[in-house]
Structures are given as structure tokens and as C-alpha cells.
Homo-oligomer: A and B are copies of this chain.
């Protein structure tokens, strides 16, 4: 086990009607001028935005609104938000939505104190030293951004989708999580979110660091719970209990609960980011295509951890041939994603009939270097093999 720091200071307020506390929580964390950030559509239609404004009004808090954040959030919305923020001068950011909305708010929070172009943070040219505090009302369990210090933004000019990690600055002060708010999510979005959280766990789980039993067992426990509850929620979207289990799982999948002193991977995420940046597909759906391919490749080149996953989570019985068992695990996960979640597991199913694999692969290695280190070293030939396994 490697040395590590675990720091998850967010106050998670979880359960029915918890959004009613938003005004009080904002006050507790020192807010007086709040910038609400949201996508549009369901947050407005459902009356959630009105309930939130009512709670802020009751707490005598002033607010402005930034709406229209899209999935795979882009730099242009951040620039728009920064302009609004410099005018309104908020002292607190309040994203209401899922990962795209939260990541947009986080980036505005950090960019607010920076005189240069915020993209400097995302291309490694500068590091944020200060950020506005953030509180979250979560409506989509998926990205885990409500409990993480990370954000991901796509540059609309260069098509680069990149991430920023600043745990001490960007972890939200509080996150309000009412599973009822997720009960009207369409099946597609529910399933994409579940895929995303499972990928967050697997990116941490696929590691060569030895002797991380406690992290492994927690990761396996999360995956078992998610798969069990996902089957329920896909059958009955109104199942509050299953929604609640899924919602909390999405948070701890990404707040480092199962990271714990190991080298993580994240190469599948990097490979998917190229797909969603180019073809604007749902991130979770892209992961459903990439992950089984990645595991298939891994079962040939480094089967140990994939086999452990197969035995402990996917019900594979040890045959004595670890590579074959790992491959069987990869197959079962792929079948589960397709059959239970209804996810695409190939480019064609994703709606990308003629993917430009050369383009994706070239951009990937331009961003990540010739050889991506991780659970397996991946050069351009290796990642091309994985992309081809997605056909």
C-alpha cells in the first residue's frame, strides 16, 4: 500500500426533501450572494428550481442564474459564467444538476480569482490558488463530482476534453442528495450514470499496487451493490430504495473511498474522452463501449486483477486458467451492460458507424504521451487494438 491522503470534507445531506435545507446550508457555509448554475429542462419543469429559489429567498440570500449547461460541458459556457460572475460578484456557487453543471460551476469558481484564461488550468499552464466555495444540489447520479475535487471541460476549438484535480479547493462544502429527484430520469441517462460510476470504481481497482485488500474489498462491495440495485431500477424507475442506493454509490465511487494507497489507472476514461469530445456521445455510453474492450485486452496482457473481479463480482468460477477466467469476466460485464442496462457496447451501437480511429488515437497520444502508464503500459498500437475491439 502506498502512502496516501484521504480528504473528503463535503457534508452530504441525503434523503427525501433534503433540498428544502439549501438556504440554511448556504448560510451555514457563509454564502450571501449565490450564483445558481443549471442546465434547463427538467430542473425548471419539475419545479425544483422554484423550490430552491424559495429556500434561498427565505434565508434572505441574493442570487443570479446561469442556465443552459449541456452534457459534456464546454469552455464557452464557462466564459459566459465568468462574465456573469465578474458582474454579479457571487461569494458562493450553487450548481443544481449533474456532473456537467457541477464541473462548469467548479471551473467558474476557480476561474473567478484568475486573471488569465481559465483554460490555463486545464492545459497545465497554471494552477488555481483560490476558488469560490461550492454547494451542490445533485439531480443525476453519475459523475461523482458532488464529492470530488475534480472537474472536466471540453475545449470547443481544439476538441480537447481535459480534467482538473484540486481536492482542497474544489470539493463542495455540501451536497444535497434527494433520490426522489432522480426518479424521473430517463432510462438512458440512468444507465449511462450507472456505467460511469462503475467505471470510476474500475479505474481505481485496476492497479498493480499490491496489498490493497481493504480498497479492493470496498470496490468489490460497491460493484456488487450497484449491479444488484441497477437491475431493480431498470425494472422499476420509481423504486426509491434502489435509486437511493445507486445515488450514494455514485458519490463514493468517486470520492476516493476505494482509492486508498494505490496507483490508479484512468486510461479508459482518457480513451473515452476522445470519443465523446469528437462525437459528442454520452460519457457513460462511451465508457460502456470502451471498458469491455479494455478488459478484453487486459485479460491477455495483465489478467490478474480482471480475474479477481471475475471471481468476486461477476460470478466466474476459477478454472485454473487465469487469462480465460479474466476474459470470461470481461464478456460477462459486456453482456450485463448491454442486457441489463441497455447500453451500447460497440461504436455502431453508439451511433458512430465509421469512427475515425486514427484521429482518436493520434489525439489521445498527443495529449497523454507515447506510452500511457497505468495497469498496463499502452502505446499507440495497444490503444488502437482496444479501439478496434470496440468495432
The stretch from A219-227, A269-277, A360-368, A370-378 touching chain B is A219-227
Could you tell me which residues of chain A, from 167 to 199, have a CB within 8 Å of some CB in chain B?
Answer: none
Supply 8 further A-B pairs (C-beta < 8 A) apart from A1-B15, A6-B11, A8-B8: A3-B18, A9-B9, A211-B242, A213-B229, A214-B225, A214-B248, A217-B224, A219-B221
- Interface check A244, CB cutoff 8 A: yes
Determine the chain B residues whose CB is within 8 A of the CB of A213 once the complex forms: 225, 228-229, 245
Contact B12 A211 (CB under 8 A): no
CB nearest neighbor in B for A211: B241
**Contact for A5 among B1, B9, B11, CB less than 8 A:** B11
Cα A12 to Cα B255 in complex, Å, equals 14
A255 to chain B, nearest CB (A): 10
Q: Mark A1-36, 1 if CB is under 8 A from B, else 0.
A: 111111111111111101000000000000000000
Most buried by B among A1, A7, A210, A226: A1
| A–B Cβ pairs within 8 angstroms, 29 of them | A1-B15, A1-B241, A1-B244, A3-B14, A3-B16, A4-B14, A4-B15, A5-B11, A5-B14, A7-B10, A211-B244, A213-B225, A213-B228, A213-B229, A214-B222, A214-B225, A214-B229, A214-B245, A214-B248, A214-B252, A217-B222, A218-B218, A218-B225, A218-B252, A220-B221, A221-B221, A244-B261, A252-B257, A257-B257
CB nearest neighbor in B for A224: B217
- Interface check A282, CB cutoff 8 A: no
CB nearest neighbor in B for A239: B211
A71 to chain B, nearest CB (A): 26
- Interface check A103, CB cutoff 8 A: no
A374 to chain B, nearest CB (A): 21
- Interface check A296, CB cutoff 8 A: no
Given A14-B261, A220-B221; A245-B211 close (CB under 8 Å): yes
Determine the chain B residues whose CB is within 8 A of the CB of A287 once the complex forms: none
Most buried by B among A6, A12, A212, A226: A6
Cα A218 to Cα B2 in complex, Å, equals 22
- Interface check A325, CB cutoff 8 A: no
Contact A225 B229 (CB under 8 A): no
- Interface check A249, CB cutoff 8 A: yes
Cα A10 to Cα B9 in complex, Å, equals 7
Given A6-B12, A14-B6, A218-B221; A1-B245 close (CB under 8 Å): yes
Given A9-B9, A221-B221, A261-B14; A249-B214 close (CB under 8 Å): yes
Cα A330 to Cα B213 in complex, Å, equals 24
What are the 3 A-B residue pairs with the smallest beta carbon separation, nearest first?
A: A3-B15, A221-B221, A211-B241
Determine the chain B residues whose CB is within 8 A of the CB of A212 once the complex forms: 245
A242 to chain B, nearest CB (A): 8
Determine the chain B residues whose CB is within 8 A of the CB of A56 once the complex forms: none
CB nearest neighbor in B for A28: B168
Cα A217 to Cα B14 in complex, Å, equals 19
- Interface check A265, CB cutoff 8 A: no
